Every structure is written in structure tokens, then in C-alpha cells.
Amino acid sequence: MNISAEIWQAFVVCVAAIFTQNILLSYFLGLCPFIGVSREIKAAFGLGAAVIFVMVSTCMLNWLAYRYVLLPLNLHFFRFILFIVIIAAFVQFVEMVIDRFSPRLYQTLGVFLPLITVNCAILGASLFMVIRNYTFIVAVGYGLGSGIGWFVAIVAMAGIRQKLKNDRIPPGLQGAGITLIITGLMALAFIGFTGVLQGG
Amino acid sequence: MKKSPQKQKLEQMLHSSRIVAGGFMGTDTRSIDEIIDADLARLDRLGKTATEIAQKMQQITDAACRGLGEWVKIDDRRQAMVDEAKGIMVCPWPHPGRFCKRLTFVKNVDTGTQIRWSDLNIHLIGEHGFFEGVGSEFRIEPIGLVELIFDI
Amino acid sequence: MAQEILVAVLIVSLTSAALATLLAVSERFLSDYGQCRVLLNDEKEITVQGGKTLLSVLSDNKIFIPSACGGRGTCGLCKLKVQEGAGLLLPTEEPYLNQQERDSGVRLSCQVKVRNDLKIQIPEELFNIREFTCKCAEITDLTHDIKQFRFELVEPDKIDYIPGQYIQLLTPVYEKSSEEVYRAYSVSGDPADKNHIELIIRYVPGGICTTYCFKYLKVGDEVRFNGPYGQFRLTDTDSPVVFIAGGSGMAPIKCILHHMKNNGIKRTAVYYFGAKKVKDMFMQDLMKKFQDELPDFKFIPAVSSPDPDEKWDGQKGLVTEVVKRDLKNAAQHEAYLCGSPGLVDAAEKVLVELGLTEDKIFYDKFA
């Protein structure tokens, strides 16, 4: 496969990961911070942006670790442990770097990083990419798409929840209850994208 | 459930005894969002919004201030009195909010029931829908409050 | 088989260890800001280890910037001007600063980290603030909710303050409070006695420091405070003086009266002191003594609603009403007010009605 075909495939995978196979709305991964941090658009925006960044970077790192460490040593069954360790170490490292060099960026994005370390969507993206045998470039596209997909979902949810603030919600459904119902409705809406992409 | 770092910081502030002895959360183990949601749901059933309640509370406090510490007649059923101390209270939410240390005592003349609130309470209810955690010194029960200050 | 497992475990452990080392090493380099110099008001320079917030660095160096939230970026009190080296404004500071403050470099000192050399500007008066250790020498009940606390200074053993100023008492960690907090109280004692300070404190329900002072503090206990703070003081003019106070607002006025006696100040003075009930009155004997010792001083206590069984032959009514009735014309006076914000506001209104201009009215609301 030549490079341009690969880039095209990466693009298709990326778009598919945003819409038709949104990691949050079709696999329901990363649901915990999604519900917890979607009350305000500002916080949702920061967390979403941090997820995009970490998702892309860890997909790259984990792809390299899988291809050049685990496969040659025939230790692919250790990918769960290794991936999560790499994600954790990477997030820690990035947090330190941002804190040192841009305190302002740290306050907007960096503070969300510890929350992401154990976000299952991040680990999920790395595992899917391995299971589906993506090449490096496609894996990057997949990471980017998954991140953007998660970002879109949480920002949309935060927007909806901010609007809901002044609406009357049955007492038993307030908070997490109504959020889960909305998530379900959003997921249904995203199913509407199926068929947009043939190659995905 | 995971909370945003801003919310974690806020809860830390609410639990700490920096601003008021014992903190704002009392013995309540619920999260800040759960406390607010539960109280607002109760208000909903009574048909009042937090803003309306805060406005009414502010009216009563303003009227009571004229008494300089003496009981003041608010209407046929209610009396109120303020008690002030020196110093300021700050709002635990991250925005500029400073209030006098002023307590308003409101009494229903017929039943004798009495509730007290601080200026900070009015702000917390009106702006943040927060009636404080159960078991904290200045927790106000929304239902009792509405019954006392409104004619329902 | 066993060998395979061993190798696998070894490799995963090695990778983890390598990553951990990487983190430890980068932390060593990234979080080390080295020695930073902080230049205060272009005159004093302090050298500090970088990485901490400006607020805590300054308090380590015994420069006390007011703060109510303990450096959490909630109260916005710890503002100061950073002329150089603070970096970009942080989102956590934005709500507290208006455009004018932003333009002139005002920052929240609890949010600004010392990462490099800094040039800052702080109010001159904060330089003179020291921290004192003292021992509680005497606790006197004045009324059911007001007590007088007398402290003997230990280290340093002398304090110089201007009568009318206040100090901030440090409440240690105790049952009701998991953190050290400072609360402000006016000094009430005789300023000539430099080895002691006296405070008059009224119990505040739910108050961290007053609860500590009333329920936990014992004679002999060691406490700390810093100070002195505040601009409330007697002027140098010869205008007649009117004092108006209520409750623990007695403190700075009493201190000023001691000062007038010590220095032979012969200004005409009248002191209206308000209380709700007769049982809320205190220090009447002492005030009578001042009346005898000072050349032209009158103490007028007022009780607003005495209980039927209480005997009271002095002035009745709210202290502001008594002032209105008794003083009649205040155009030539200077007024010194101390008490709850409501009392201060009401008294100010009455005095303006009696012909006093607002620039002759002094008060300290701590707010």
C-alpha cells in the first residue's frame, strides 16, 4: 500500500471514528468523566481538548511499543498492562512539561490531565487500533478521530445540559439519570450517520 | 463519578473550615451537585425558584437591618432581627463575592418557628442553589424556609 | 514455561521501571526552578527557592499579605502589583481583576508561582507587620457574649501600635477547624503597656476564631498573632471628638481614650455607646474613671430596649437616636465610629444630618 492510499484510509477511519463509530456514543467508553464534567461548556471544552491530544499521542506511542516491543518478544497479551503504564507515564510527563513552560495552558488544559490518565476511552482507542491491525498512519488518524468524536460528544452534551438547567426535570431523573437518557438519544442520532462512509 | 478539577477544588474549599467553623458540608457525604440537585428538586415541588427565595430573603434582611439589632415587624405574621459582627465572609465559589457577617433571624409570630440565615446564605441560594450540606451549622432546609417566608 | 513467564514479567517490570525513571529524572529537571530573587518595592531583595506561590514565599519571609481563603484563589484579597516576571494572567485570576488592575500588573499572589526573578510592589505598611507569640494572661467576662482577653507578649516581647489599629489572631487547628486561620480584632488595651495586648471579642455563632477563644482558649495557652494593621486612628487636630460604638466596638475607642489620657490630649470628647439590654452594658466604671481623669470627656451609654425588670436610668433608645437628640449640631466635630456595619452606616447618616461632612467621619469596618 502506498503512502497516499494510507493517508486516504486514515482520513476515512478518522471520519468514521468521529461519526459512525464514535467511541463514546457507540462503544460507551469514557462515560464517567463524560457525565461528571459535562455540566459546563467551559470545563467540557478543556477536558475534550485534552482528550484529543492524549488520544493521538498515546495511539502513536502505544503503536510503536506494540510493534517494536511486544510483537518481537511475543508478549502481545501484555498489551493491557503496558498500554496503561505508557498512558499514565505520558500524561504525567506532559503535565509536568506544560506546568513548567506554560502556566496559562496548564490552567486551561493541564488540570484535566490527571483525570484522563485512567480514562477507558484512551485505553480503548489503543486496543481497538491494535485489534484492527491499523498501520501507523491509520492509527494516528484513528486516534485523532476518536479524540475529536469524544470532544464533540462532551461539548454537545454540556451545551444541552446548560440549556436543561432551567427546565423542569422529574425529580428522580435529575443529574446522572437525565444525562444517560440524553446520551442514549444522542447515540441514536449518531446512528443516522451510518452509511455516510462506505470504507469505514 | 469523576469530577472536574475545578469542582474538586470547590468541594475541598466547602469541606475546609477556612471560611466558617466546620465547613459548609457538615456531615453530608453527597457531592455538591447531588446536594444542589436534591434541594432544587424539593423547591420545584413547592413551585418556587432559588432566585425568588433569595430575593425574598434579601427583602427581609434589608427590612430587618433598620432595627439595628431589634426585632422588626415584616408583615402581620413575621418578625425579623439582624445580628451583625465585624469582618467579612467570602463566597467559596471562585468569583469575587464578599459579604458582611450578618445574621438575619426570622420568626413566625403565630407558630413561633424561627430560622436564621447569613448574608452569605442568601448569595449561595440565589446564585448557586446551595443550601449547604446536612449537618453544617448554617444548613437551611428549603421546605421549612419556603413555608416560613412565603404565604403558602 | 516458567522461564517464559519469568522473562515476560521481567520485561514488563523493566519497561515500567524505565518509564518511572524517566519521570523521576524529568521531574528533577522540570520542577527545579533554582534560586529566584524577589525585589520588593525596589529596595528590599529576598532570595527564595522557586516553585512555590508568591503568597507562601512572602509569608515564609514574614511578609503577611491578607488572605481569607488560605491561598486557594477564592477570596481575591491577596492582590499585589507584580512589575516584572509574573508571566501571563491565569484563568483562575481573571474573575477577580478589572481591566485597570490588569493593565497595571495587579495579580493574585496565591496564584502566581515564583519561577524566575520577580519585581513586586506591596503596600509600605505591610512591611511593618510582625508576627508575635504570646501567652493568654487573663480572660474576663464582660457580658454574656463579650469577653476581654489579655495576652502577654513572649517573642518579640514589645509591640508598638497606633491606638485604633487591629491585629490578626491566629486560630490554631482545633476540634472545629482543620486549618489555621487568621481573624482581625481591634486592640483595646493601654498602648503604654507595650508588653501586653488586650482584645475585646464578642462571640459569633459558627465563628472559627471566636468559638476557639470562648470555648477552648485557657489562661496560659500560647497563641500567635500578626499586626498591627489599619488606618483607624485619632487625628492631630483640635476639633471636638464624637465617638460612637456598640458591642465589641468598644475596643479601639477604649484604646484611644487611654492614649488621650497618657498624652494629655485635652480635646473635647463625647462617647455614645449603645447596647440592647442593660445586661449588654460593660466597662461603665472604667468610662466614669476616664470622665474624671480626662479634662473634657463625657460618656453617654444608651440602652435600646431594656427588659422590664432591668433598672436603667440612663439614655433610652437606639444609640443613633440618642446621638441625634443629644448632640444636636456636629458641624465642628470629628467622628470615630466602631461597631457592626449596620450601626456604622446608620451613625454616619445621622452625623451627616447633624452637619458633619463625610471626610470628618472615620471608621474601621474591617471590610
Is the torsion defined by CA of A106, A108, A109, A115 positive or negative? positive
pLDDT of residue B97: 87
Q: List CB contacts of A78: < 8 A, sequence separation 6 or more.
A: A70, C8, C11, C12
pTM summary value: 0.86
Q: Is A196 helix (H, G, I), strand (E, B) or coil?
A: coil
C201 in Cβ contact with C248 (< 8 Å): yes
Taking the C-alpha atoms of residue C181 and residue C161, their distance in angstroms, rounded to an integer, is 22
Asked, for residue A2, whether it belongs to a domain, the answer is no
In a domain, A91, yes or no: yes
- Residues β-bridged to residue B100: B88
Residues C127-182 pLDDT 10s: 888 899 999 999 999 999 999 999 999 988 999 999 999 998 999 988 878 888 88
With a CB cutoff of 8 Å and minimum separation 6, the contacts of C103 are none
Q: Strand C334-338: give its sheet, edge to edge.
A: C315-316, C297-303, C269-275, C241-246, C334-338, C361-363
Report, as an integer, the average pLDDT of A12-20: 92
Q: Does A108 map to a domain?
A: yes
Instruction: Note whether residue A81 is domain-resident.
Output: yes
Contact C30 A96 (CB under 8 A): yes
- Separation between Cα atoms, residue C50 and residue B17, nearest integer Å: 29
Q: Which residue has the cell 433569595?
A: B54
Report yes or no on A170 lying in a domain.
Answer: yes
Does residue C24 belong to the interface with chain A, where contact is any CB pair within 8 Å?
no
Judged by CB atoms closer than 8 Å, whether chains meet at C318 and B102 is answered as no
Three-state DSSP string of C239-290: CCEEEEEEHHHHHHHHHHHHHHHHCCCCCCEEEEEEECCHHHCCCHHHHHHH
Under DSSP, the state recorded for C187 is B
Q: Count up the domains in chain A and report the number.
A: 1
Report d(CA C361, CA C346) in Å as an integer.
12
B70 touching A, CB under 8 A?
Answer: no
Residue C30 and residue A100: Cβ atoms within 8 Å?
yes
Judge whether A138 lies within some domain: yes
SS (H, E, C) B81-138: EEEEEEEEEECCCCCCCEEEEEEEEEEECCCCCEEEEEHHHHHHHHHHCCCCCCCCCC
Which ipTM was obtained for this model?
0.81
Chain A residues touching C27 at Cβ < 8 A: 96
State how far residue B151 is from chain A, nearest Cα, in angstroms.
Answer: 23
Contact of B37 with chain A, judged by CB distance below 8 Å, is answered with yes
How far is A117 from A125, CA to CA, in rounded Å?
A: 13
Q: For C31, which of A93, A96, A104 is closest by C-beta distance?
A: A96
**Range(s) of chain C covered by CATH 2.40.30.10:** 131-229
Distance CA C16, CA C60 (A): 38
pLDDT in tens, A29-87: 999 899 888 988 989 999 999 999 999 999 999 999 999 988 998 888 888 999 999 99
CA C275 to chain B, closest CA, distance in angstroms equals: 9
* In the block, residue with C-alpha cell 502505544: A62
Write out chain B residues lying below 8 Å of C184, CB-based: 86-87
What was the pLDDT predicted at C30?
Answer: 86
CA atoms of B147 and C23, how far apart (whole Å): 59
Which among C58, C255, C257 is positioned nearest to C167, based on CA atoms?
A: C255
pLDDT confidence bin for B139, thresholds 50/70/90: very high
Tell me the nearest-neighbour CA distance from A100 into chain C, angstroms. 6
Nearest chain C residue to B15, by CA: C178
B8 touching A (Cβ < 8 Å): no
Chains that touch A (3 or more CB pairs under 8 A): B, C
Identify the CA nearest to C189 among candidates C152, C144, C223.
C152
Secondary structure letter of residue C180 according to DSSP:
-
B95 interface with A at CB cutoff 8 Å: no
Closest residue in C to A65 (Cα) is C15
Q: Where in chain C is the domain with CATH 3.40.50.80?
A: 241-363
Tell me what the pLDDT averaged over chain B comes to: 90
Q: Which SS3 state, helix, strand or coil, does residue C205 take?
A: coil
DSSP A112-171: GHHHHTT-HHHHHHHHHHHHTT--HHHHHHHHHHHHHHHHHHHHHHHHHHHHHTTS---G
Please report which helix (H) or strand (E) contains residue C166, including its range: strand C166-171
Identify the pLDDT of residue C366: 53
Task: Assign C115 to helix, strand or coil.
Answer: coil
Nearest residue of C to residue A80, measured between CA atoms: C12
For residue A68, the distance in angstroms to the closest alpha carbon of chain B comes to 34
Confidence (pLDDT) at C365: 60
> Do residue A96 and residue C89 have CB atoms under 8 angstroms apart?
no
Write down the pLDDT at residue C148.
Answer: 96
Residues C240-254: b if buried by 16+ CB within 10 A, e if exposed: ebbbbbbbbbbbbbb
- Quote the domain boundaries for residue B23: 5-149
Give C307: exposed, middle or buried? Use CB within 10 Å, 0-12, 13-18, 19+.
exposed
CA distance B61 to B117: 9
Query: Which residues of chain C have a CB within 8 Å of the CB of A79?
Result: none
Name which of A115, A171, A175 is nearest B2 (Cβ-Cβ).
A115
| Residue C92 to residues A105, A106, A108, Cα–Cα distance (Å) | 11, 11, 9
Whether the link from the prior residue into B5 is cis, omega within 30° of 0, is no
Q: Name the CATH architecture for the domain at C241-363.
A: 3-Layer(aba) Sandwich (3.40)
Chains that touch C (3 or more CB pairs under 8 A): A, B
Within an 8 Å CB–CB cutoff, is residue C8 touching chain A?
yes
CATH number of C35-126: 3.10.20.30
Boundaries of domain holding A163:
14-191
For residue B140 the three cell numbers come to 437551611
Closest chain A residue by Cα to residue C19: A89
Ranges of residues in chain C with a pLDDT under 50 are 367
Is residue A196 situated within a structural domain? no
| Chain-chain contact of C343 with B19 (C-beta, under 8 angstroms) | no
- Out of A35, A40, A114, the one facing B1 most closely (by C-beta) is A35
Is B99 in CB contact (< 8 Å) with chain C? no
Minimal-distance CA residue of chain C relative to B21: C208
B44 contacts in chain A (CB < 8 Å):
168, 171
Q: Please state, in angstroms and as integers, the Cα–Cα distance from residue C247 to each residue in B84, B118, B151, following that order.
A: 10, 19, 36
Number of domains in chain B: 1
- DSSP-assigned letter for residue C172: P
Whether domain C131-229 has CATH 2.40.30.10: the reply is yes
pLDDT given at position C161: 93
User: pLDDT, tens digit, for every residue of A127-146?
Assistant: 999 999 999 999 999 999 99
CB atoms closer than 10 angstroms to residue C236: 6
d(CA A45, CA A57) in angstroms, rounded, equals: 19
Quick check: is A198 in a domain?
no
User: Which residues of chain C lie closer than 8 angstroms to A98, CB-CB?
Assistant: none
Is the CB of residue C123 less than 8 Å away from at least one CB of chain A?
no
Whether C297 and C271 have beta carbons less than 8 Å apart is answered as yes
Look up residue A140 and give its three cell numbers.
494516528
Mean confidence (pLDDT) of chain A = 90
Asked if the bond preceding C228 is cis, omega within 30° of 0, the reply is yes
Give the three cell numbers for residue C17: 521501571
Neighbours of B151 (CB within 10 A): 8
Please give the Cα distance from C270 to A138 (Å, whole number): 87
Cell numbers 443550601 correspond to B131
SS3 content of chain A, % helix, strand, coil (to 5): 75, 0, 25
Residues of chain C with CATH 3.10.20.30: 35-126
B101: which chain C residues are within 8 Å (Cβ-Cβ)?
A: 204, 207
Do A175 and B2 lie within an 8 Å CB cutoff? no
Residue B39 near residue B28, CB atoms below 8 Å: no
Distance to chain B for A30, nearest Cα, Å:
10
